[in-house]
Amino acid sequence: MAKKILVTGGAGFIGSNLAIKLLEKGYDVVVLDSLSPQIHGDDPEVTSPLYNSIKGKVRFIKGSVTSRADLTAALDGVECVVHLAAETGTGQSMYEVEKYVGTNIGGTALLLDILANSKTQVKRVVVAESRAIYGEGRYYSDELGRYVYPTMRDADAMEHGDFEVKYDGCSEPLRLVGTTEDSMVHPTSVYGITKQVQGQLVHLVCQSIGIESVSFRYQNVYGPGQSLSNPYTGILSIFSTRIKNGKDINIFEDGKETRDFVYIDDVVDATIRGIEVPGANGHVFNVGTGVPTDVLTVARTLMEKYGKEVELHVSGNFRIGDIRHNYADISKARDILGFEPKWNFSDGIANFCRWVDSQQVCEDRYEQSLKEMKDKNLFK
């Protein structure tokens, strides 16, 4: 009999893709998901391709990880939990603090409370952390001769167009290097803090009750199926929707800020290895490509793939809590999991754009999201 796996947040972007791949491998999959309107729309059966991709294929429970009854029902007979359910988005987390903490930390605490105090068949918990827990990435100071970890950038300096990170005692520019799992953890957003605590709780409690634990720090995940209507997460979706609607794109800062964009298939592959590889127990893994790509390159590549030009405004605007750079060192995932990303940015973005071209153009709600942040004094 196939192993039974619960995927919380399994109707989301990563979760639904994971659920489908697990089904193909012969697993019995249970999905617990609240079908948040921000991700799935007001009528998921009509507006959510993610939900429809798993509907009728998995045992689906519409419910919340903040409900003891929903979690208890979902855990029946389950041997492995992949805990992906979370509120996502760094910007929104800065003013919807209770919502993020309640779902991300509270939901994880409730899951672990049930595992600690009930008889279940769960043998391993896999949890999604995030690259956001690192805050700024890891840098090397030639001046100091060591790695350094800059903290949140100064808003006054950024308002004057100085967006580069600084480190006390360094007058020379810092050199960006890959962020390793043992790098300093110092999140610069509420979202980042909640993801840090999720990972810490899972490893701590699971070890104490004899359940195996694995956590993943995903970089910027993208690919076909991601929400094009959620204006709070994912610049690929945000920029795509702007371009498709013929609207100009506001490039924050100077456009040279970078992220590590990792294709959904690679994320699913790494996660399944975290479920299956015995030696993964107790470990934290970065999941990315190990390659930084700047925002201006992203915008120009998207316009090229869509064959449609819109105006790019390099505005100097910035969001409080945003980082300048971060890309993953994935050596540990290679060594222990045998993980190797198969998709580079050029091929992945081409596949993503072909999918977007097949979709109905979404209403653009980006300005509304910026207004919310500006009203909260988080957008400059």
Distances in Å between the alpha carbon of 361 and those of 140, 181, 268, 351, 357? 43, 39, 27, 17, 9
Mean pLDDT within 256-283: 97
pLDDT at 173 over 70: yes
Cβ-count burial 322-335 (b if 16+ within 10 Å, e if not):
bbbbbbbbbebbee
pLDDT at 132: 92
Task: Provide the residue range defining the domain that includes 223.
Answer: 86-375
Query: Given this model, what pLDDT does residue 52 score?
Result: 87
Answer for the pair 19, 84: CB distance below 8 angstroms, yes or no: no
Distances 69 to 64, 72, 372 between C-alpha atoms, Å:
9, 5, 34
Quote the pLDDT of residue 378.
Answer: 64
**Res 158: pLDDT:** 92
pTM of the entire structure? 0.93
Least confident span in 19-28, 226-235, 291-300, 356-365:
226-235
- Residue 81 within a domain: no
Q: Which of 46-50, 305-309, 328-332 is predicted least confidently? A: 46-50
Query: Is 248 among the domain residues?
Result: yes
Give domain status of residue 109, yes or no.
yes
Q: Number of folded domains in the chain?
A: 1
Decide if 222 is inside a domain. yes
* Residue 279 falls inside a structural domain: yes
pLDDT of 341 strictly over 70: yes
pLDDT value, residue 1: 43
User: Residue 107 maps to which CATH number?
Assistant: 3.40.50.720
Residue 108 has pLDDT above 50, yes or no: yes
Residue 63 falls within a domain, yes or no?
A: no
Assess if residue 313 is contained within a domain. yes
| 149 classed as catalytic | no
**Confidence (pLDDT) at 69:** 98
Per DSSP, helices labelled H in the chain are: 13-24, 37-40, 44-47, 49-54, 68-74, 90-93, 97-100, 107-117, 155-159, 190-209, 235-244, 264-276, 295-306, 331-332, 345-357, 366-375
Share of the chain above pLDDT 70, in %: 95
Instruction: Please pick, among 27, 51, 191, 263, the residue that the annotation labels catalytic.
Output: 191
When the pLDDT of each residue in the chain is averaged and rounded to a whole number, the result is 92
Q: What mean pLDDT is predicted for residues 138-147?
A: 96
